[in-house]
């Protein structure tokens, strides 16, 4: 806690002995001087301008000039705050030479181009060093810089492009801001590496190089991380993950894939994980869990393993992957929480809809026919869910409590006994499965809320719909990382095999 400094005494020092005074002193502590008899020097009032003022006419302006007519300090009568006359130093804003003052030294003239007699020289680039002052140019060794010309950037001609060597093909230019094509080449900043050093160019200043910590060495701007925003789309599944607006990194992760069942029918799967922020390396935990679960599902489904059993095995494998992160942690992290995350996954295969989860990440069912009721397919492993299940609170009261998001189940070395939840459904109509973290469902908690913000063409454009849902959470505040995966569900054709 810091203390607010006291304001100084109006007198500053004692008029009798010059002893420093403190705020609130009525007598000097050194000589006993009665400070109430002394009054501080009154402030100098602002002197109003005597009217009328004979304002001079503005200087003539060239219609072709890019600058506007201006009044300079020497053009207006008056004095500064110290009572002295305003300076009369001429100010240059273009190349028009000023006429020398009567009886005075000649004013500065425009430089000439040595290649063309009488032609003004091209403007000097801003990066060129300023010329040294001529000896004896100023009696006090001061160097007066000329005012910058705002048209210099417009008048300067671009540098000629280097001709390609014979027999070589010139590289195509990248479209500005599109992200397509090769990265544009920039001249290296002195002392910050060369063009061919392999480092990225800053997205902010487009001049500096990015160091190993992800900051520009020229302007200091933090560069976006690869995981700040991720998207992936397959023919039957799509997912989007975003850092949000409040967190400094994205601790969510996802994995999507497709597989072929033994009968030749397709299967789509999605796994979404949410790193526990209070644990160590939550971003690594979510990434390891999502990848491990996906790998198990992609291997098990083509072998004929039932989708619900495959989901159970995938969650167990994800838990083992997160546990392994704690085992290879360094010694200085032994007193920190082990890496941890939640997980939710879904499989659409053979007319069945399978979900599995641990924690408070959720899955929803939203039918294409919005007149049909949507549904939430998972139950949270959280304090709020336990209060509702025990009948101690209703859902609105439980989720309004500050302990609502305290999870009671997670993947990690310090978790309780692992209890993967799995469920199988057989919808009788087409729809979309929503697999998401609490960064999304905090802004669309109920199934009806999720269906309301879901675009009507989500089954045909799952990636676009996922982007819309992430945008809905960002518009709502983006307080957490946001990850959502969408799996369109279509009724199997007659005669198709079952998983």
Q: Write the pLDDT tens digit of every residue in 69-82.
A: 555 555 555 666 66
Residue 308 corresponds to which tokens in the numbers above? 């619900």
What's the rounded Cα separation, in Å, for the pair 483 and 256? 12
Maximum pairwise Cα distance, the chain: 109
Tens of pLDDT, residue by residue over 395-447, are 888 888 888 889 999 999 988 888 999 999 999 999 999 999 999 999 999 99
Say what the pTM is.
0.59
CB 73, CB 82: distance < 8 Å: no
pLDDT bracket for residue 127 (50, 70, 90) = very low
The pLDDT of residue 35 = 77
The pLDDT of residue 208 = 86
What's the rounded Cα separation, in Å, for the pair 364 and 368? 13
Which of the residue ranges 56-60, 87-91, 105-109, 337-341 has the most confident prediction, judged by mean pLDDT? 337-341
Tens of pLDDT, residue by residue over 262-317, are 999 999 999 999 999 989 999 999 999 999 999 999 999 999 999 999 999 999 99
CB 200, CB 209: distance < 8 Å: yes
Helical packing angle, 282-300 and 307-327, nearest 10°? 150
Tens of pLDDT, residue by residue over 329-366, are 555 555 678 999 999 999 999 999 999 999 999 999 99
């Amino acid at each position: 806690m810091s203390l607010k400094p006291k304001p100084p005494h109006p007198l500053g020092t004692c008029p009798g002995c010059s002893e420093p005074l403190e705020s609130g002193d009525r007598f000097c502590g050194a000589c006993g001087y009665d400070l109430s008899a002394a009054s501080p020097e009154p402030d100098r009032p602002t002197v109003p301008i005597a009217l009328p003022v004979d304002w001079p006419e503005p200087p003539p302006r060239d219609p072709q000039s890019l600058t506007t007519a201006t009044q300079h300090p020497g053009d207006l009568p008056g004095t500064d705050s110290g009572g002295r006359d305003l300076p009369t130093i001429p100010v240059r804003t273009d190349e028009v030479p000023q006429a020398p003052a009567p009886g005075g030294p000649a004013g500065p003239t425009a430089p000439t181009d040595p290649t063309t007699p009488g032609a003004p020289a091209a403007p000097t680039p801003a990066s060129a060093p300023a010329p040294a002052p001529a000896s004896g140019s100023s009696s006090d060794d001061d160097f007066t810089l000329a005012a910058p010309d705002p048209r210099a950037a417009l008048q300067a001609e671009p540098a000629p492009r280097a001709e390609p060597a014979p027999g070589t093909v010139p590289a195509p230019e990248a479209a500005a801001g599109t992200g397509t094509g090769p990265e544009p080449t920039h001249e290296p900043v002195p002392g910050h590496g060369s063009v061919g050093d392999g480092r990225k160019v800053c997205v902010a200043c487009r001049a500096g190089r990015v160091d190993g910590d992800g900051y520009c060495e020229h302007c200091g701007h933090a560069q976006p991380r690869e995981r700040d925003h991720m998207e992936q789309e397959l023919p039957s599944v799509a997912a989007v993950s975003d850092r949000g607006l409040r967190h400094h990194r994205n601790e969510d992760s996802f994995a999507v894939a497709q597989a072929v069942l033994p009968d030749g029918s397709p299967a789509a799967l999605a796994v979404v994980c949410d790193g526990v922020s209070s644990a160590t390396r939550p971003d690594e935990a979510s990434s390891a869990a999502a990848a491990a679960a996906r790998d198990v599902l992609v291997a098990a489904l083509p072998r004929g393993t039932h989708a619900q059993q495959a989901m159970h095995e995938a969650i167990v494998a994800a838990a083992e992957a997160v546990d392994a992160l704690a085992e290879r942690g360094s010694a200085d992290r032994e007193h920190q929480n082990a890496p941890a995350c939640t997980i939710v996954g879904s499989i659409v295969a053979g007319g069945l809809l399978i979900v599995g989860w641990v924690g408070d990440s959720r899955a929803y069912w939203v039918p294409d026919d919005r007149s049909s009721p949507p549904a939430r397919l998972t139950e949270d492993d959280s304090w709020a869910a336990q209060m509702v299940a025990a009948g101690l609170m209703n859902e609105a009261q439980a989720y309004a409590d500050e302990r609502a998001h305290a999870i009671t189940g997670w993947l990690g070395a310090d978790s309780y006994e692992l209890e993967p939840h799995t469920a199988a459904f057989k919808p009788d109509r087409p729809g979309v499965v929503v697999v998401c973290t609490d960064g999304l469902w905090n802004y669309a908690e109920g199934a009806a809320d999720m269906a309301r913000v879901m675009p009507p063409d989500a089954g045909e454009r799952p990636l676009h719909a996922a982007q819309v849902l992430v945008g809905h959470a960002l518009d709502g505040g983006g307080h957490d990382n946001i990850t959502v995966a969408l799996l369109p569900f279509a009724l199997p054709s007659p005669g198709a095999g079952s998983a």
